[in-house]
Amino acid sequence: MHAAFGNDGSEHPERPQVEHLQRLQPCLTIEFDCSLVLRRTPGEGVLVEDANLQRRMGLSPEHLVALATAASLLLWAAAFVVIRWVGQSLGPGALAFGRLLVGSVVLTLLVLVRHRRRPPTGRTLALVVAYGLLWFAGYAVVLNWAERHLDAGTASMLVQLAPLIVAVVAGLGLGEGFSGTLALGLVIALAGVALIAVGSHRPGVTDRIGVVLGLLAAVLYAAGVLVQKLALPHVDALTATWLGCVVGAVATSPFAHQAWTQATAASWRDVVAVVFLGVGPTAVAFTTWAYALSRSGAGRLSATTLGVPAVAIALSWLVLGEVPVLLSVVGGVLCVVGVLVTRWSRTAPGSIAPPPVPVEGSGS
C-alpha cells in the first residue's frame, strides 16, 4: 500500500504539522476490500480508521468514538438497575454466568458471520484472558453481590472510583500524562459522586459489606480497563470482547448448575432481564467500549463513566421507585458537568495518544 510516508516509514520533511487525512489503496492483508485512512495530528502519532464506516454513517472518527462511548455508558447505567431487580431471584455467581453465557453466544455468532481476523497469540492473548478474568468474571460477580446490599444508585457511584484509579495509573504508567481539564473534570465529578453518596444513604439499605464490595468492584473494573488498554493495540475490539466474554463465562461456569436451578424457578421477566444483560450491557456495550478505548486515552475515556450514576439514579427512580433526594440530583448534575469538562480538549497537552491500531485489527 502507498501513503505519504517514505519507504523507511519516516515522514516527508516538507509535510506541515497540521491535522490531515490520507487515503490508502485497498488493503491486501485483509480478506476483503477495505478503505483505510491514516490520521495524524501533532503529538498523536498515526491512527488507522475505517473510511468506509465513516462514509456510510456520514460521521467523523471523533463522532463515532463519542457515539460508541455514549452507547456503552447508557447500557451500563441500565445494567445497575436490572442487576438490582433480578438479583433477588438469582445469586451473584449465577447471574454473572447467565449474563456472560448469553453474551458469549451473541458475540460468537457475530464473529462467525463477519469476522475474518486471526485470533491473538502470546502476550496479547494472555492480556485478553487477564482482562476477561478481571472485568467480565470478577467484576460481574462482585458487583452482583454488592447490589444485594446497596441500591443501584449507590453501587454505581462506588464503582465510579475506578476512573480515578485508571486516570492516575494511565497518566503515570502508560505515559498519557495529565491535563488541567482532565484533573478539573475528575474533581468536579467526584464531588458529584460524594453528594450522591450522602444523599442516597438510607438506613437499612447501605451497609459496610456492600460498600467494601462496591470498592472491590471499582478496583477490578480499573484493572480490567488498564489491561484491556495494553491489549487493544494488537487486537480488534470485537475479538477482544468476544474472547474476554468467553473467558468470563468459563471462569463463572462453576455457577452453571445454580444458574439453571434458579432460572427455571424465576419468572419470565427475570429470564428476559438476564438476556438483556447478556446482549446489551455485555455484548454490545463492551464492544463499543473497546472500539472507543482503542482510539482514546484510557484516563480520559474512563472519566466519562462518571456520568453513569446520574443516569442510573434516574432509571432507578423510574423503574424501582428509589426516589432520589435533592443532594443526589445536584450530585448527578455535577457528574455530568465533570464529564463535559474532561472532554473539553480532545488531546491533553503534553500527553500522547494510544498506540496506533494495527491494520489487520482496525475497522471493527
Distance CA 167, CA 310 (A): 20
Residue scoring higher pLDDT (307 or 91): 91
pLDDT > 70: what percent of the chain? 68
- Supply the mean pLDDT for the chain: 74
Instruction: Indicate the range of 55-69, 131-145, 205-219, 300-314 predicted with least confidence.
Output: 55-69
How far apart are the C-alpha atoms of 285 and 54, rounded to whole Å?
20
Closest listed residue to residue 292, CA positions, set 70, 53, 8: 70
C-alpha cell at 228: 484491556
Q: Which residue has the higher pLDDT, 46 or 147?
A: 147
3-state secondary structure string across the chain: CCCCECCCCCECCCCCCCCEEEECCCCCCCCCCCCEEEEEECCCEEEEEEHHHHHHHCCCHHHHHHHHHHHHHHHHHHHHHHHHHHCCCCCHHHHHHHHHHHHHHHHHHHHHHHCCCCCCCHHHHHHHHHHHHHHHHHHHHHHHHHCCCCCHHHHHHHHCCHHHHHHHHHHHHCCCCCCHHHHHHHHHHHHHHHHHHHHHCCCCCCCHHHHHHHHHHHHHHHHHHHHHHHHHHHCCHHHHHHHHHHHHHHHCHHHHHHHHHHHHHCCHHHHHHHHHHHHHHHHHHHHHHHHHHCCCCHHHHHHHHHHHHHHHHHHHHHHHCCCCCHHHHHHHHHHHHHHHHHCCCCCCCCCCCCCCCCHHHCCC
145 to each of 70, 134, 229, 254, 322, how far by Cα in Å?
Answer: 26, 15, 26, 16, 19
The pLDDT-based confidence of 18 (bands split at 50, 70, 90) is very low
Region 65-77 average pLDDT: 87
User: 13 pLDDT exceeds 70?
Assistant: no
Question: What pLDDT, on a 0 to 100 scale, did the predictor assign at position 343?
Answer: 60
Mean pLDDT on 284-313:
77
Section 307-316 average pLDDT: 84
> What does each C-alpha distance from 10 to 23, 180, 234 come to in angstroms?
17, 32, 22
The predicted pLDDT at position 269 comes to: 92
pTM above 0.75, yes or no: no
User: How high is the pLDDT of residue 177?
Assistant: 65
Asked if pLDDT for residue 59 goes beyond 90, the answer is no
C-alpha dist (Å) from residue 95 to 83, 100, 156, 250, 261: 8, 9, 18, 14, 12
**CB of 155 closer than 8 Å to CB of 210:** yes
pLDDT at position 353 is: 37
Q: Encode pLDDT of 162-176 as tens digits.
A: 777 777 777 666 666
- Span 81-111, pLDDT tens digits: 999 999 889 999 999 999 999 999 999 998 8
